[in-house]
Every structure is written in C-alpha cells, then in structure tokens.
C-alpha cells in the first residue's frame, strides 16, 4: 500500500504543477484556406527597427507594407504603398504619391504615417539608422504626398525604402500604446497577426482591408517553427503542413518523387566563401589568396554538396544587379596554385586553421572538403568547429586565419553588399578580412552619388572585378535555397531576397 500511496501523491504533485497548462489554447489548425508553413526558427520581434533575423524580417514583410518593394524576380523596384514616385533632376528631392490604402484596423494610410515611420526608422532608437542617414527633411504637402529632401545625392535610398526597416506603421495606433503595439501590430500588408505562440507558431489572418482587391486568397497562414530538417520533410509528407523552407538538399529528390510534394530551389542573393584574414601571414600576399582559389574544385563542391543546386562564385558579391557575365570564376588548376605559392615563398605549403560554424551542416561539409583539397597543394588546415556566436565574434575580432562564411542581401541593389563585403573601412571592414583597395573605396563613394544606369553599373562591375583579383576570400558558390510545398498549393515562392509573399498563394 505504501507504494500506491507514494504514487498517488506523486501524481497529485504533478497535477498541481500542471494545472495552469490544462487550459485550451486557440488553434486554427483545422481552418480552411490556412497555409501551414514550416521554418527553422521562431521570429524574435515584429518591430521593424529592432530586428535583424530572417524569420522576423520575413514575417514583418507579410504584415507591413513599404513604399516600394523589389519585384519578385529582383530585377527592379515596384510600387508598394506608393503608387508612383519621382526623383528630381539633381537627385535631392524624392516625391511619393500614396495609393488609397488602409491599415488592418480600417484607418487610412496617410502621409503623416509615412513621415512618422521613416523618422522612427532613422532615429537613435533604430538599429538601422544608417539606411536613412541621407534624409534631411520629410514633408507632407497633403495626405497622399510625401516628399523626402536630401542634402547630398544618395542613390541607394530607394532600395533602402524597400527594406523591412522602412515598414509603414499607423502613427496614432502606435502612439496610443507604444509598449504593447508590437504584440499585435497593425499594418497595411496582406496579413495581420491573429496569435503568436512563441516557439511554436505565428498565426496570421487575412487583412480584410488589404489594398490589392481580391487578395489574399488565403484565409490565413500559420508560420510554424520546426527546427529539425527531417521533421519538416516528415510533416510535409504526412500532409500535416503545406509548405516548408530549407529542405535538406539530400532529401529533395525523394520528396519530389512521391508526387504529392513539389520541390523548388530559390535563387537567393547569397554567396558562400572562406574569409581570409589578410592581416595575418601568409594571407597578406595576394598570390597566396589566389593560389587558394585555384586549388579548390568549386564545380565539384556544387555537385557534391549542393546536389547541383547552385553556381560557382566568381567574387564575394552575390549574383545580382549589374553582375558582369564575362567575369569567370577561378579555374580548378592545381599546377597554377602550386606555382603561385612557390612564387610567394611558400613552395612547401604552410599550416593554418579553418574556423567552421558548428550549427551549419553545409559549412561542416565544406570544411572537410577544403581540408583535403588544400592538402594537395601542401596546405595543412586544422578545422576549428565553433558555435555561431563564437564564430562571429572571433572573425569580427580578427582572431582567425580562415573562416567558412556567407553573406546574403536584403535588397536587390548591390550597394549594401558591396559596403559590407569589399569596402574598408566600412561597417565590417570587407567582412572581417581587412582587405583594402583604395580604388574600390573610391568607386563606392562615387556609385552612391551616381544615378542608376549604365554608368553606375560600370562602377559596380569594376569593384567586383577588383575584388575578384584581390581575392579577400576563397569564393565558393552561390547556393540555391531549397523549399517544398504540397501539390495542392499554388503560387508559393521563395524570392531572391529570401522572403516569401503569400498574397498570391492559393490552396485547392
């Protein structure tokens, strides 16, 4: 009897602890027309000026509108909340004509809301102040017109206005409760927040006031967190979810074979590379850096690691606007690599270390492949597997020799990536490689003050070519982003900027 009593008390204890958990949470899992989409991580915040993680950014782009937005093929900017815009001849005045749009609470989007949101995005409280630094004054001559005044020409501005951080918020609703606003934010985008169960799912419902008539056709979307790649594919196969992001590449074929699931690869604006610390020997010598580029069979990496879903990279810059089709990647040429090393005084090779992010399966494989490829030219690379935070802090502090890494772009204009990857000094000093080229810096300043067009394009092409020759990293590949959806879903697409729009998605 003693045993029985102890078990009863244990059960009673458990129940008393679990009591509050027994309440039923709302769920729209069985609603019709709700797209269930799985991603790897939960979002962090819906405040567009305070976030920098992709899940948050992608969710914000479904809830809020921006004045302009990149077209789905990333070739140009298209109207968002602004139905038209003009830039003055001297490039210092931008005028936007707003369309008749409403926020999800039914109030109209006014010029005052735009001015408020852009001022907030450029304020000290914003993590992205830099993007709006060029704006000197914001004028609102009438409810539907916004005029931005600049002191100096700043061409990337239009693209920055298409960024997540330029989301337009309703001034009155925000100011009524600034602390609570982002728990259930109001925007003018196609969807609005129904519930956010942290760590599980963000439930979105259709914005009945959305300005594109008849859209979205979905009643809502459930953006779920499924960190494990196998769990995402299993749930997709079982029909428990309708779409999933970041499918493990080795499962793409078998997933597609069943016929109930369609797979696709998005051409995102991303480059994977191995950063070389040009402050340290022997990476201070351009010949060594070029030799390393010649030593790697990048074509082979694309085939073996990406299952063909990608292209060989010719520079650190992603394949985007103004890319030079004639700039060829470094060929796989061991003899040339050895000759260059010899010329640089490293005929017998050298010992070095390779920093790898332990949480990125693809980069762990890259690390292994590079280690054996470099051994062929006498370079012994010791792999140092570290967790993400350490990886970032170590490379940022310049306390590394080689590091597998990548960069992806939020905008379709190469300015953001150039500033990050090849300009020094800038915010990351050529992405922690400390590579420095005065001509690149000069062109960067010039391109920002030059109107969009062939002249600006030529500047970018020259910058990219210089970075190709200077080889601040081992350029690996432009990987595609694999995703999959059930065959009853149509119109689901991951865009080159990595996000997805759901207003055109239909479910049968």
Partner 1 sequence: MLTYILKRFVQLVPVLFGITLACFFLLRALPGDPATLLLGARGGAEEIAAMKQRLGLDLPLWRQYLLFLHDILSGSLGRSVVYGQPVISLVLERLPATLWLVAYSTVIAVVLTIPLALWSAVKRDRAPDILVKLVFTVLLAIPSFWLGLVLVVILAIWVPLFPTSGYGAGLFSRLHHLTLPAFVIALATASLTIRSLRSGILNVLGSDYVTTARAKGNATGRTMRVHVLPNALISSISVLGAHTSWVIGGTVVIETVFALPGLGSLFVESIFARDYPMIQGLTIVFAVLVVLINLATDIAYALADPRIRLD
CA max distance for the chain:
92
User: How many Å apart are CA 372 and CA 369, to the nearest integer?
Assistant: 6
| Contact code string over 451-490 relative to partner 1, x by CB under 8 A | ----------------------------------------
Q: How far apart are CA 37 and CA 226, in angstroms?
A: 10
Q: Mark residues 38-67: x for contact with partner 1 by CB under 8 A, - for none.
A: ---x--xx-x--x-xx--------------
Interaction residues for partner 1, span 361-400 (CB under 8 A) = 387-390, 392-394, 396-397
> How far is it, in rounded angstroms, from Cα 208 to Cα 219?
10
Alpha-helical (H) ranges within 258-360 are: 286-295, 298-306, 334-343
Span 132-171, contacts to partner 1 by CB under 8 A: none
CA distance 129 to 143: 25
Taking CB under 8 A as the rule, does residue 30 contact partner 1? no
Asked whether position 107 contacts partner 1 by CB under 8 A, the answer is no
With binding defined as CB under 8 A, does residue 22 bind partner 1? Answer: yes
Give one DSSP letter per residue of 38-78, joined into a string.
EESS----S-TTT--SHHHHHHHHHH---SEEE-TTSSSEE
Q: Which of 427, 438, 453, 454 binds partner 1 (CB under 8 A)?
A: 427
| 10 vs 304, beta carbon nearer partner 1 | 10
When binding is defined by CB under 8 A, the residue of 76, 80, 199, 486 that contacts partner 1 is 199
Q: How, if at all, do strands 220-225 and 34-39 pair? A: parallel
DSSP string covering 350-383: EEEEEEEETT-HHHHHHHHHHHHHHHTTTEEEEE
Is 242:262 a contact under the CB 8 Å cutoff? no
Per CB under 8 A, the segment of 22-30, 340-348, 439-447, 460-468 that binds partner 1 is 22-30
| Using rule CB under 8 A, residue 128 touches partner 1 | yes
Nearest approach in angstroms of CB 15 to partner 1 is 9
For the CB of residue 194, give the shortest distance to partner 1 in the complex, in Å.
Answer: 14
Give whole-number Cα distances, 399 to 368, 384, 460, in Å. 21, 12, 30
Residue 254 sits in the site that holds partner 1 (CB under 8 A): no
- Judged by DSSP in three states, 176 sits in helix
Euclidean distance between CA atoms 346 and 355, whole angstroms: 22
d(CA 33, CA 139): 42
Considering beta carbons, is residue 181 or 324 the nearer one to partner 1? 181
The interface mask with partner 1, positions 206-235, x = CB under 8 A, is ------------------xxxxx-xx--xx
How many positions of this chain bind partner 1 (CB under 8 A)? 66
36 versus 287: smaller Cβ distance to partner 1: 36
Looking at the Cβ atoms of 19 and 106, the one nearer to partner 1 is: 19
Which residues lie near partner 1 (CB under 8 A)?
Answer: 1-3, 5-7, 9-11, 13-14, 17-18, 20-22, 24-27, 41, 44-45, 47, 50, 52-53, 124-125, 127-130, 197-200, 224-228, 230-231, 234-235, 237-238, 240, 359, 387-390, 392-394, 396-397, 407, 410, 420, 426-428, 431
């Amino acid at each position: 009897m003693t045993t029985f009593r102890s078990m009863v008390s244990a059960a009673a204890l458990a129940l008393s602890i679990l009591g509050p958990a027994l309440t039923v949470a709302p769920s729209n899992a069985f609603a019709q027309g709700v797209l269930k989409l799985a991603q790897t991580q939960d979002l962090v915040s819906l405040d567009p000026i305070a976030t920098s993680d992709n899940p948050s950014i992608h969710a914000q782009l479904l809830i809020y509108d921006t004045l302009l937005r990149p077209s789905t093929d990333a070739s140009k900017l298209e109207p968002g909340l602004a139905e038209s815009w003009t830039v003055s001849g001297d490039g210092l005045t931008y005028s936007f004509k707003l369309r008749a749009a409403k926020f999800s609470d039914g109030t109209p989007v006014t010029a005052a809301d735009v001015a408020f949101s852009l001022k907030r995005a450029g304020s000290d409280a914003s993590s992205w102040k830099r993007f709006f630094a060029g704006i000197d004054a914001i004028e609102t001559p009438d409810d539907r017109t916004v005029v931005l005044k600049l002191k100096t020409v700043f061409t990337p501005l239009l693209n920055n206005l298409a960024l997540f951080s330029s989301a337009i918020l309703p001034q009155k609703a925000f100011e009524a409760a600034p602390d609570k606003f982002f728990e259930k934010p109001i925007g003018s985008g196609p969807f609005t927040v129904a519930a956010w169960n942290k760590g599980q799912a963000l439930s979105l419902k259709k914005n009945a006031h959305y300005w594109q008539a008849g859209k979205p056709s979905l009643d809502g979307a459930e953006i779920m967190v499924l960190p494990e790649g196998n769990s995402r594919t299993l749930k997709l196969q079982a029909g428990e979810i309708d779409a999933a992001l970041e499918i493990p590449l080795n499962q793409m074929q078998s997933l597609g074979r069943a016929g109930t699931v369609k797979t696709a690869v998005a051409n995102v604006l991303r480059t994977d590379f191995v950063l070389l610390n040009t402050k340290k020997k022997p990476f201070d010598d351009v010949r060594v850096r070029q030799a390393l580029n010649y030593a790697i069979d990048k074509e082979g990496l694309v085939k073996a690691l990406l299952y063909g879903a990608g292209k060989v990279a010719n520079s650190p810059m992603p394949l985007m606007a103004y890319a030079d089709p004639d700039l060829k990647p470094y060929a796989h040429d061991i003899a040339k690599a050895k000759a260059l090393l010899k010329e640089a005084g490293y005929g017998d090779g050298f010992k070095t270390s390779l920093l790898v992010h332990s949480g990125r399966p693809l980069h762990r494989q890259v690390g292994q492949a590079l280690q054996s490829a470099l051994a062929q030219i006498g370079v012994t690379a010791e792999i140092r597997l570290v967790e993400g935070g350490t990886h970032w802090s170590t490379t940022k502090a310049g306390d590394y020799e080689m590091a597998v890494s990548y960069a992806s772009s939020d905008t379709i204009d190469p300015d953001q990536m150039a500033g990050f990857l090849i300009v020094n000094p800038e915010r990351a000093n050529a992405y922690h490689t400390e590579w420095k080229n005065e001509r690149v810096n000069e062109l960067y300043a010039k391109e920002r003050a030059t109107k969009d067009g062939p002249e600006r394009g030529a500047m970018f092409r020259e910058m990219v070519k210089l970075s190709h020759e200077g080889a601040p990293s081992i350029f690996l590949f432009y990987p595609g982003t694999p995703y999959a959806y059930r065959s009853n879903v149509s119109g689901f697409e991951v865009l080159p900027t990595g996000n997805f729009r759901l207003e055109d998605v239909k479910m049968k």
